[in-house]
Structure 1
Amino acid sequence: MTIEGGCYCGAVRYTAEGEAMMKAECFCRECQYVTGGNSLLAMAMPADGFQITKGEVKGYKRADLENGVTREFCADCGTHLTTRAPGFEAGVILKVGTLDDPSMFGKAESANFACDAQDYHRLPDDMPVHQKWMHS
């Protein structure tokens, strides 16, 4: 499978080759910051098949979080494109909204960090729901 995507303003573009390693919905507090309060849909693709094809991303990692992830953004428009997680160097986590064809995502296979879900969130009842990360 080949996935292409990019940021809102078009300054950053990427391609990802391979089979999806994970498809998930995340309710963690950090994802709520990035989305403006909602959960986040993401899919992991093999890191060796991922490349930025246009522009550059700016990375940010919170220093106060143990094993914090690095979130990569477009420096121009602020679109959150990817996440790189310690211990998961084999994959790059793509944000579904940045895919040129979001229908390629299909459907999440699990919901994670239900412990951080807000009263206004609707947890799914048609897939596994984990209080923390599914692999914790």
Structure 2
Amino acid sequence: MSIDPLLVKSSFAAVEPHGTEVTAYFYRHLFEHHPAVRGLFAEHMDDQQDRLFAALGALVTHLEDTDTLVGILQDLGRRHAAYGALPEHFPAVGGSLLATLAHFAGDAWTPETEASWTAVYGVVTDTMGGALADAVRSAARD
């Protein structure tokens, strides 16, 4: 699977105007389908929703700037380790992300777009997951 930056950017352009509806839908979907992860989050989600939307925007903005993107994702991975996130949470998050994007992208969501976003999320998982695992190992040694 390869990433088509044009498909990712155009589908996100269709999603972006929905703003906080996107992140609210994402978290509802995540908690409904994976209730065990709810405990990792604060009771009030406004700040978390804003951070998620900003992270998605940064992901799309820096999609073709590998060095910047890797740095952002590694930082996110390290921070998520401190929140108690685990590598096994990534599939749940990815499933909810794809469901959310499909819901809000409308006609911009095609099988090719889904394949591209799936590939993007693979990069997210690999990069964030590696940094998360490194942070957990480092904390265990300390």
Q: Compute the TM-score of the two structures, normalised by the length of structure 2.
A: 0.23
TM-score, normalised via structure 1 length: 0.23
Q: Which has the higher contact order (CA 8 A, sep 6+)?
A: 2
Q: Write 1 or 2 for the structure with the bigger share of strand.
A: 1
